[in-house]
Amino acid sequence: MPLTVAVVGAIVALTRRWCCICGYIRDFVLLDTAGAGFDAIDSNLLNGPTEESRGMNGCTAQDFRTLFRRLTTGVTLIAVAGEAGPIGMTVNSLTPVSLDPPLLLFCASLTSATAKRIAAVGAFSVNVLAADQQDVSTHHAGRPLPEPTWRWQESERIPWIEGANATFRCRLVAEHPGGDHRILIGGIDEMFGPATAATPLLYHGGKYARLPYDEVEPPGRIDELWWTG
Cα 82 from chain centroid?
A: 21
pTM for this prediction: 0.71
Give 215's contacts (C-beta < 8 A, 6+ positions apart).
196
Domain boundaries along the sequence of the chain: 5-67, 73-213
Strand 85-91: give its sheet, edge to edge: 85-91, 76-82, 123-128, 166-178, 181-192, 103-109, 95-98
- Per-position pLDDT tens, the chain of length 229: 444 444 334 433 433 333 332 332 222 222 222 222 222 333 343 444 444 444 444 568 888 888 989 999 999 999 999 999 999 999 999 999 999 999 999 999 999 999 999 999 999 999 999 999 999 999 999 898 988 889 999 999 999 999 999 999 999 999 999 999 999 999 999 999 999 999 999 999 989 987 765 555 555 554 555 554 5
Check whether domain 73-213 has CATH 3.30.70.360, yes or no: no
Q: What's 226's DSSP letter?
A: G
